[in-house]
Amino acid sequence: GAVVSQHPSWVICKSGTSVKIECRSLDFQATTMFWYRQFPKQSLMLMATSNEGSKATYEQGVEKDKFLINHASLTLSTLTVTSAHPEDSSFYICSTLPRGQGSYNEQFFGPGTRLTVL
């Protein structure tokens, strides 16, 4: 499968600060990347779909001004949590959809970023 990295793997920040999380596809070009959030003991919830060179598409209930997504290249997407609050503490996971995928779409996931807001 495809290799996806995330940085940082964990981050602790103070309330009110902004945090940037990077998602990189290491061995392929990714036209589309997805950002998920996962709370303890729960499944993944899609936050937004990031398309290279265009604006991200956010899921209902996700504030686009709070969760800024930039997909400036075919190998990098970033998620910035602005003015983070304790309720934003979660496990953030990205996934990629390799370019030129076959007849069905398989997403490959990064290792996740644990965000803790104090």
Of residues 7, 20, 46, 74, which one binds another protein by CB under 8 A? 46
Q: Considering the rule CB under 8 A, would residue 103 count as an interface residue with another protein?
A: yes
Q: Closer to another protein at the Cβ: 19 or 33?
A: 33
Of residues 49, 80, 82, 89, which one binds another protein by CB under 8 A? 49
Q: Considering the rule CB under 8 A, would residue 61 count as an interface residue with another protein?
A: no
Spatial separation of the C-alpha atoms in residues 55 and 92, rounded to whole Å: 20
Measured between alpha carbons, how far is residue 85 from residues 59, 78, 107 in Å? 20, 19, 29
Q: Considering the rule CB under 8 A, would residue 16 count as an interface residue with another protein?
A: no
Q: Which residues bind another protein (CB under 8 A)?
A: 1, 4, 6, 32, 34, 41-46, 49, 91, 93, 95, 97, 103-112, 114
